[in-house]
Each structure stands twice: as structure tokens, then as C-alpha cells.
Amino acid sequence: MPYNGRVQVYELTEALSEVPGVEVTIKRGLLWVHIPAIGDTAQLAPDEVLAAESVFVPTREPAVQFDLKRGREVLPLIVTVDDMVFTPAYADDLVEKGAYRRIPAMPNLISYSEMHRDVRALGKAIDDPALDLDPETLAATLLAHRCFLAGAMRVGLWPVRVAAWWEYANARVGGPAGLAPLRSDPDWDDLMADVAEARRQTASPSQSPSVHR
């Protein structure tokens, strides 16, 4: 339902009560929506939620869509029994103004589990000598994955494990030709700091990101 005036937290918790398995808590005035299956939590400010509606998803299981106000944009966040679905960020919002960039076709919506699968797959494949991607295609894929991550962060998620795979692949490639210069982003820097801390706490002789599964 669309909300008129200030949204009360209980209205959001009532909407989420329709979705089994979702863990909801309230901390420091924020609604924390945790999905155990993906291991991440969306932190939402109630006054940024414009609407909450039950929606149809392909699995036919219960799901709720929040419409979130982010500046001049309204972004969807769909909460399902085992996933969250959101809109990837635009590449133009991430790369330096005027910089050349090539990017594959982007989905209008992507689920967290799909993002994790795709970014992890590239991270695992990057050391495979049989991987045959030209540098420009590889750069475009890394940029697309960065758009996925930025989209997740815009709706209150904090995908440390997925970002670790992205950082690993990007570092192993060493800046392929065609990779557009990215804008400075303090939130991304904070996420990378958490990636580094997670690696430090789970130190492993393995070369691949130990914070990931």
C-alpha cells in the first residue's frame, strides 16, 4: 500500500510478516531485513519507504515490494522468502564523466543470489588459463558486476562477500584495456575496508577470497 505521511515501523513489519523466513529487527530507528539464505541484511529508514505491496514472483511464493526514495529516484526492493531483488545502478553513475565504457546488456532487475553467482563465477574462473575473454569484454563484465553491487548498496544492502569476489577478479586482471575509470565513492571505500577486514579475520592460504563461499 502507498503511505501518506510518515511511515510507522509497525506498518513495514506487518507487510513483511507475509513473507516466511524473513528476520526483521529494529535498530537505531532503522528496519533491518535479514534473509538467511543470502547472508545479508537491508537497512531501511522508514521515512524513505513510499509504498509496500505484495507482488507476484516466478516462484509463486509470498513477496513484498518496497518503493524506496533515493534522492530524485524511486527504487524497488523486492523481499522474497530466500532472496532480495533490486535494480542495478547505471554505469554512467559510476564511471568518470566523459570516459569511454562498454557494457553488456543490463537487466532491469537482478536478485542478490544471481549477483552472487555471476560475480563469484568470474572470480573463480579468472585464474583458469582456458578462460578466453578479450580485455574489453572482461572490463565490461567487471563494470556490469560493479553496477550490480552499487545497486545492492543503494537499497541498504552491504554485500561484503560478493564485493570480495569482484575485488579479487579486478586485482587479478590488473586493469584490463577498456576499463573505464570509476568515480570516487566513499561508500565503496567503506565496503572495501570491510572486505579487507573480513579477509584478515578469516586468513587462509587459499588464493581465492576466503570470505566467500
Q: Where are the domains of the chain?
A: 9-86, 91-201
> For position 98, what pLDDT does the model report?
77
Mean pLDDT in residue range 133-162: 93
Are the C-beta atoms of 79 and 16 separated by less than 8 Å? yes
Q: pTM for this one?
A: 0.90
Is the pLDDT score of 204 beyond 70?
A: no
- Going by pLDDT thresholds of 50, 70 and 90, the confidence category of residue 172 is confident
| Strand 49-54 with 40-44, pairing | unpaired
Mean pLDDT in residue range 93-122: 89
Mean pLDDT in residue range 104-118: 94
> For position 5, what pLDDT does the model report?
59
Is the pLDDT score of 16 beyond 90?
A: yes
CA–CA distance, 158 with 153 (Å, rounded to integer): 6
Is the pLDDT score of 210 beyond 60?
A: no
- Going by pLDDT thresholds of 50, 70 and 90, the confidence category of residue 195 is very high
> For position 41, what pLDDT does the model report?
98
Query: What's the distance, CA 70 to chain centroid?
Result: 15
> For position 100, what pLDDT does the model report?
72
Its sign, for the CA torsion 146, 147, 149, 154, is positive
Of all residues in the chain, the percent with pLDDT exceeding 70 is 90
Of all residues in the chain, the percent with pLDDT exceeding 90 is 67
CA–CA distance, 12 with 136 (Å, rounded to integer): 44
Mean pLDDT in residue range 54-59: 93
> For position 27, what pLDDT does the model report?
92
More confident residue, 49 or 103: 49
- Going by pLDDT thresholds of 50, 70 and 90, the confidence category of residue 2 is low
Of 40-49, 80-89, 97-106, 111-120, minimum mean pLDDT range: 97-106
Query: Domain 9-86: which CATH class?
Result: mainly beta
> For position 8, what pLDDT does the model report?
78
CA–CA distance, 30 with 162 (Å, rounded to integer): 24
213: Cβ–Cβ under 8 A, 6 or more apart, which residues? 161
State the alpha helices, DSSP H only, in the chain: 9-16, 112-125, 135-154, 160-173, 186-201
* H or E stretch at 51: strand 49-54
